[in-house]
């Protein structure tokens, strides 16, 4: 028999004391109520077990098929046909690997990414990371607002600025859906993903792209010209969304997973399969958007007006282009898919905001307050731009927001890579060396691409600007000084040694893995061990006071 590990025994005793204290504080009439809202995972392997895990991946995959991604896909197909489809394949595989790390962090430790950041970093650093996380949530919400407004304009001829205001009604929609429980909400999101998939497959039937060229674009990498490089960077950088990492690491905490070596391993495995299944639909949708755009804009008999639309394609122009070339039903299908994308993104963005606020500040707003605040902050700039510049300026705002998300990404991705590679955080479930090298290579490539993209855009703007030489020099010094500070901050996160122990040890079964002696590392047991499922996380999704 394996000798008992004193550190594990002490952590288990601490865990039992926490549970007893929590039960004593609870109202006896409340004890069984959270059980109605959690999702229990059956012990026996099979389709019922997979169905129990099914759900979080569909909420996560929405970020890969939001209106911002559609805009990049449309431009890619319009300018380069199917040549950049391989970027979507590479980005989708990379996204699956990174999202799996976020899920593993929650399953193993019982805490989501925002909570880890709060407990690990000094208070000032934690607050700065929280601000950047809120910027990411708001920036991700702006394309959803604009995309929904475009969809309302396509389907009902509603002016863009009125459509922006109407997106505020999504608050009422979200509250109505929440009353039916998290599982039904996950099913609704999955249904919206299927609607988008069906719409774009129908679009393929109208557009009839060349199948051989589509397959070549998927599996033969090619970049022809500086413009293709810029679009490839945009496509790759937009695939991993900062707020999505917070979201995924929290959503997995709603499942009751057995706290044994076998249970944790199976939880990580099933969440990877579930995420892959959902992200496969997101991959298909992105491929369909590029293929339809590439097929329509490569037709030799396009009119001058349609050719002009292809040269500067955005969400609004795409609808008119599809109607002119493929017919009215094609425009309607695009509008329905865009509306489904905007509304489903609203729900996931609101949840991500809740988890960020709860994790970093240990604060919980009522969902309708949180949704209203997020919507208001996103609606104000969208409304101003729509009123002043119309649909064209609104489309440009989506591009600007994508740059902001690229800027914020390292401050979310680096902590995730660090925590999942740390035995202090993950114990014996920390990333192996091959996984660690692969994920840091992916993360480093995405972050380097984003920094390069933002820097090159600034240099081009500075060169082409009509400012005096002195003003250009002063602005250049200021901006490159900020870039230096940015790189120093990224380096701090990358090379700082993790100190706070959060490895969740609650198994009552004999471990078949070598125990990690954290005392040898100079650490004591964590004071914040929490059981799964997390009652507080479930209540964020299903408010009992509404």
Q: How confident is the model over 161-178, as pLDDT tens digits?
A: 888 888 877 656 666 666
Q: Is 4 helix (H, G, I), strand (E, B) or coil?
A: coil
**Number of C-beta neighbours around residue 517 at 10 A:** 11
Contact (Cβ atoms closer than 8 angstroms) between residue 94 and residue 442:
yes
Query: Residues 6 or more apart from 29 whose CB is under 8 A from it?
Result: none
pLDDT at 2: 45
Of 24-28, 128-132, 506-510, which has the strongest mean pLDDT? 128-132
Instruction: Quote the CA–CA distance of 214 and 289 in Å, as a whole number.
Output: 12
Q: What does R_g of the chain's alpha carbons equal in angstroms?
A: 24
| Domain residue limits, the chain | 43-433
Nearest to 270 by CA among 63, 506, 453, 46: 46
Percent of the chain residues past pLDDT 90, beyond the cut: 27
Q: Is 40 helix (H, G, I), strand (E, B) or coil?
A: strand
Instruction: Quote the CA–CA distance of 392 and 273 in Å, as a whole number.
Output: 40
Q: How confident is the model over 322-360, as pLDDT tens digits?
A: 887 888 888 899 999 998 888 888 778 878 888 898 899
> Does the pLDDT of residue 115 top 90, yes or no?
yes
> Does the pLDDT of residue 113 top 90, yes or no?
yes
Instruction: Quote the CA–CA distance of 480 and 92 in Å, as a whole number.
Output: 32
> Does the pLDDT of residue 44 top 80, yes or no?
no
Q: How confident is the model over 48-101, as pLDDT tens digits?
A: 777 888 889 999 998 899 888 888 888 889 988 999 999 999 989 999 999 999
Q: Which two tokens stand for residue 309?
A: 């639309």
Q: Which two tokens stand for residue 481?
A: 């000084």
Q: Is 534 helix (H, G, I), strand (E, B) or coil?
A: coil
**Number of C-beta neighbours around residue 244 at 10 A:** 26
> Does the pLDDT of residue 430 top 50, yes or no?
yes
Q: Is 403 helix (H, G, I), strand (E, B) or coil?
A: helix
Instruction: Quote the CA–CA distance of 268 and 258 in Å, as a whole number.
Output: 12
How many residues are given for the chain? 546
Contact (Cβ atoms closer than 8 angstroms) between residue 356 and residue 246:
yes
Contact (Cβ atoms closer than 8 angstroms) between residue 288 and residue 73:
no
pLDDT at 411: 93
Q: How confident is the model over 434-481, as pLDDT tens digits?
A: 999 999 998 888 778 777 777 887 888 888 877 788 888 898 899 889
Q: How confident is the model over 9-38, as pLDDT tens digits?
A: 544 554 555 455 444 444 433 433 444 456
Assigned fold of 43-433: Amino acid/polyamine transporter I (1.20.1740)
Per-chain mean pLDDT for the chain: 79
Contact (Cβ atoms closer than 8 angstroms) between residue 446 and residue 413:
yes
């Amino acid at each position: 028999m394996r000798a008992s590990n004193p550190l594990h025994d002490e952590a288990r005793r601490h865990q039992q004391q926490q549970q007893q204290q929590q039960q004593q504080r609870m109202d006896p009439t409340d004890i069984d109520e959270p059980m109605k809202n959690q999702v229990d995972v059956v012990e026996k392997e099979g389709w019922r077990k997979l169905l129990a895990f099914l759900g979080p991946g569909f909420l996560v995959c929405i970020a890969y098929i939001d209106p911002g991604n559609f805009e990049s896909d449309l431009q890619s197909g319009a300018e380069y046909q199917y040549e950049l489809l391989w970027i979507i394949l590479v980005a989708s595989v990379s996204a699956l690997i990174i999202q799996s790390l976020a899920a593993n962090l929650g399953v193993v430790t019982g805490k989501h990414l925002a909570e880890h950041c709060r407990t690990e970093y000094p208070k000032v650093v934690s607050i700065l990371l929280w601000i950047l996380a809120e910027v990411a949530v708001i920036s991700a919400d702006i394309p959803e607002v604009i995309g929904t407004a475009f969809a309302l304009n396509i389907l009902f001829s509603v002016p863009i600025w009125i459509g922006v205001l109407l997106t505020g009604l999504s608050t009422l929609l979200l509250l109505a859906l929440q009353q039916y429980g998290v599982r039904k909400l996950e099913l609704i999101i999955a249904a919206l993903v299927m609607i988008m998939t069906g719409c774009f497959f129908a679009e393929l039937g109208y557009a009839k792209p060349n199948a051989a060229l589509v397959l070549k674009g998927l599996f033969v990498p090619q970049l022809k010209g500086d413009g293709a490089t810029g679009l490839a960077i945009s496509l790759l950088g937009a695939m991993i969304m900062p707020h999505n990492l917070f979201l995924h690491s929290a959503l997995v905490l709603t499942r009751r997973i057995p706290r044994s070596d076998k249970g944790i391993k199976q939880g990580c495995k099933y969440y990877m399969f579930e995420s892959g299944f959902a992200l496969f639909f997101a991959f298909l949708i992105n491929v369909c958007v590029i293929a339809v755009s590439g097929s329509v804009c490569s037709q030799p008999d396009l009119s001058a007006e349609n050719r002009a639309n292809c040269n500067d394609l955005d969400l609004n122009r795409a609808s008119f282009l599809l109607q002119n070339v493929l017919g009215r039903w094609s425009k309607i299908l695009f509008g329905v898919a865009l509306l489904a994308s905007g509304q489903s993104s609203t729900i996931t963005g609101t949840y991500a905001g809740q988890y960020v606020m709860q994790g970093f500040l240990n604060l919980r707003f009522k969902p309708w307050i949180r949704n209203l605040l997020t919507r208001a902050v996103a609606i104000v700039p969208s409304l101003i731009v729509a009123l002043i510049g119309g649909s064209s300026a609104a489309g440009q705002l989506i591009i600007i927001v994508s740059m902001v998300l690229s800027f914020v990404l390292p401050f979310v991705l680096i902590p995730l890579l660090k925590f999942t590679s740390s035995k202090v955080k993950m114990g014996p479930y920390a990333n192996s060396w091959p996984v660690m090298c692969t994920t840091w290579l992916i993360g480093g490539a995405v972050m380097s691409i984003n920094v390069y993209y933002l820097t090159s855009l600034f240099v081009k703007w500075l060169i082409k600007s009509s400012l005096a030489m002195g003003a250009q020099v002063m602005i250049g010094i200021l901006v490159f000084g900020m870039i230096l500070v940015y790189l120093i901050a990224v380096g701090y996160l990358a090379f700082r040694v993790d100190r706070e122990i959060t490895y969740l040890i609650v198994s009552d079964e004999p471990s078949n893995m070598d125990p990690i002696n954290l005392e040898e590392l100079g650490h004591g047991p964590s004071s914040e061990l929490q059981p799964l499922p997390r009652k507080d996380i479930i209540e964020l999704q299903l408010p009992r006071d509404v």
